[in-house]
Amino acid sequence: MQGLHSINLKGSQQGFTLVTVLIMSMMASVLVLNSLKDNVAQERLSGNFQKKMNARLVAEKGVFDTYNYLNAQLAANPNQTLDQLIAAMQTSGSASGISNMSYNLTANIPTGSNQLSLQSDGLRFDGETKLKANFELVSGSSQSSSAFGGGIIGCDGVTISGSGKIDSYDSSKGDYAEILDNNQANINNNATVRTLNDNDKIILSGAGNIEGDLIAIGSVEFKSSAHIAGNVHSNGSINMFNNSTIGGNASAFSYFKQQNGSIAGNIHANDYVNVNQTQVGGDVTTAGYLDATGYSIGGDILAGDNIDLSQVNVDGLAQTYANYSQYEGSVFGIRSKQNVTLSSTLSIVRNDNIHYAGSGDFAKDWSGAADSKYLSAPYKVLPPEPSLLEVPLVEKLPVDDGVLDPDDPNDITCDPLGIENEVLTVDSYADSAKDLDIKDTGAAHSVYTLSNNEGDYSQWASSSSKPAAIPATSARFLGQSKSILMYDNVNIKGNIEVKAGHNVVMYAKGNFNLSGASTLTIPDDSSLTLIVKGALIIGSGSTINTPTKGLTKDGIPVFSIYSSYSGTGVDGVEIKGGVEQIYAAIYAPLSDVKIASAVDFKGSVLGKKVEVSGAGGIHYDEALGLAKVGNVTTNTPSHLVFRGWQSL
């Protein structure tokens, strides 16, 4: 048609499309730049946190390195003052293996005091942490410890069965369980049950309680429910079953394993920790792995190997040098140098407090999709890996080498008195010793009385002639000259007593047997020291009457038993069931000691192997730690003691 014009819009449409593409490209660039900016910010936050952590670690290293150095200098020269010590110490250092980690130290000693304030400034690039630790210089001392001051000691092992209780009391204040002036019963939790040699065991197979500490050079086995009020330490392993409880800490040079029950304090083991349905009040530290099921852990976890938690609530931080796995339960935070697996949607990590260096495997509600934020920074940590504290190792307690070093406060031996030589010295004076045979006949009663000078019948009920008195012989025992009543075999089926006000020493070259309805009576402010080369048996039906106080006014145990028996076939010291009552301080490092009684034993026990059975209890008398017979002097060198951290 004429008069109409056509217009071509193709070029205009192409221009509009180009503008649209440019705008979209600019918007994408802005989004990419913002994302890169966020990533850079996150990386900087993660890097700053890492630097801060490294700075704290190197600051701690400065404190601990200096503490160890100063104590080593004191050990070499115990007479140094604090001023002399810090004059020679290094004021700076670094961490090996990681560059740009260093610390600087500043020491301060208040005028006229024995206090040391040590400030350590840790540096890692621009990260900095300041720590201040306080120490006290404790002067060396020399002290005398009684041979009866150890509680219950089985050098080669302790076995406790039955339902009795092992606890302590102080006889200087009154009898066991007596109500004192403060309206409190005279019952304490200061008993110690321990062994001293390799390959020994402490075996608990009853339902009894130990109100104190348990220390084993070998291993510890709980074969039934038992309660330990204090700490448990083993140079071997600790196995606990059937709802046993520990009121303090548990440490094992090997492994720790518990089925049911609870631990109020910390668990520390070198090999691994395995707890099932066990409530832990403190931290768990292991150089190996931790496998925990059920209940809770009240502190932090630090493991050199994998951590596997199933339905466990952890109040603290879980840290591992290997992999971390959690099924349900909760934890304050996670630090893993390798992988993290949260296999349940009910696994709770408070505040998303997760840092790991390996791969992440999360349940669906933990955003396990490929684009999950938990698979990238700051949760997945870029090199370097999360910084963890070094896992400390449980140290072995010293093993008895048979020789006591009086200058080493940590040295210990089963036989500090050298009892065999001491008894042989007494025995050399007993060539003419005769048997002592005390018998009651019918209703008539005879009484044999022991004094410092002689042993004689103060009451003789038989129609036959009374035996001649046995005069005391002067001999040496435990480094002192003693008047000693010498006998061969002693058999008592009657009554024997110590004369009032006398401290008697009696020697049995053969066996000592107290049986039947016999009695041994020791009056107030008197004592009987019984030295036995053969076996000693206190049979059922016997009664031993002793003063309430375990020590005389001169510091002598009211009834002490020294045995050098090392034979086989019978126990060196045996207290049979049915004994009416007994108080004794038993020292028998070469003999097995067996106490089987339904009544209470009071005093102390040291034997080669100690076996306790029955419903009766053992009540360690703390007063025996001050006994003046058989004391061993030890010297404690000057040393620094950590007194706590100070805020800056």
* pLDDT tens profile 459-495: 988 778 889 999 999 999 998 899 999 999 999 999 9
Check whether 162 has a pLDDT greater than 80: no
- DSSP string of 145-210, one letter each residue: EETTTTSEEETT-EEE-SS-EEEEE-TTT-STT-B-TTS-BS-BS-EEEE--STT-EEEE-SS-EE
User: CB–CB of 400/196 below 8 Å?
Assistant: yes
Cis amide leading into 384 (omega within 30): yes
Q: Which two tokens stand for residue 442?
A: 């019918």
pLDDT in tens, 384-433: 788 898 899 999 988 887 776 666 656 678 898 899 999 999 999 999 99
Higher pLDDT, 276 or 385: 276
Nearest of 179, 188, 214, 182 to residue 623 by alpha carbon:
188
Chain mean position to CA 328: 33
Q: What is the mean pLDDT of the chain?
A: 85
Cα–Cα dist 619/404, whole Å: 27
- DSSP H or E stretch at residue 58: helix 10-76
Residues contacting 336, CB < 8 A, separation 6+: 307, 319, 320, 322, 323, 324, 355, 356, 357, 358, 386
Q: What are the beta bridge partners of residue 251?
A: 233, 268
Burial of 644 (0-12, 13-18, 19+ CB in 10 A): exposed
CA max distance for the chain: 172
User: CB–CB of 154/610 below 8 Å?
Assistant: yes
Cα–Cα dist 329/642, whole Å: 36
- In the predicted model, what is the mean pLDDT of residues 337-348? 94
What is the per-residue pLDDT for 124?
A: 73
What is the per-residue pLDDT for 116?
A: 83
User: CB–CB of 593/572 below 8 Å?
Assistant: yes
Q: What are the beta bridge partners of residue 601?
A: 582, 618
Nearest of 266, 269, 239 to residue 254 by alpha carbon:
269
Q: 141: pLDDT confidence band, cut at 50, 70 and 90?
A: very low
Check whether 220 has a pLDDT greater than 70: yes
Cα–Cα dist 147/588, whole Å: 11
How many CA atoms within 13 Å lie on the side-chain side of 69?
Answer: 15
What is the per-residue pLDDT for 318?
A: 97
- In the predicted model, what is the mean pLDDT of residues 500-514? 96
Cis amide leading into 523 (omega within 30): no
Nearest of 465, 476, 625 to residue 551 by alpha carbon:
625
User: CB–CB of 604/170 below 8 Å?
Assistant: no
456: helix, strand or coil: strand
What is the per-residue pLDDT for 9?
A: 46
What is the per-residue pLDDT for 458?
A: 92
Cα–Cα dist 296/281, whole Å: 8
Higher pLDDT, 23 or 350: 350
- In the predicted model, what is the mean pLDDT of residues 58-82? 77
Cα–Cα dist 442/603, whole Å: 34
What percent of the chain lies above the pLDDT cut of 70? 86
- Measured in degrees and rounded to the nearest 5, phi and psi for residue 615 equal -90, -10
pTM above 0.85, yes or no: no
User: CB–CB of 648/130 below 8 Å?
Assistant: yes
User: CB–CB of 559/531 below 8 Å?
Assistant: no
- In the predicted model, what is the mean pLDDT of residues 560-564? 96
pLDDT in tens, 587-604: 999 999 998 867 678 999
Nearest of 167, 146, 155, 192 to residue 602 by alpha carbon:
167
Question: Where does 444-502 show beta strands of DSSP type E?
Answer: 447-450, 454-459, 470-471, 473-477, 480-493, 495-498
User: CB–CB of 197/243 below 8 Å?
Assistant: no
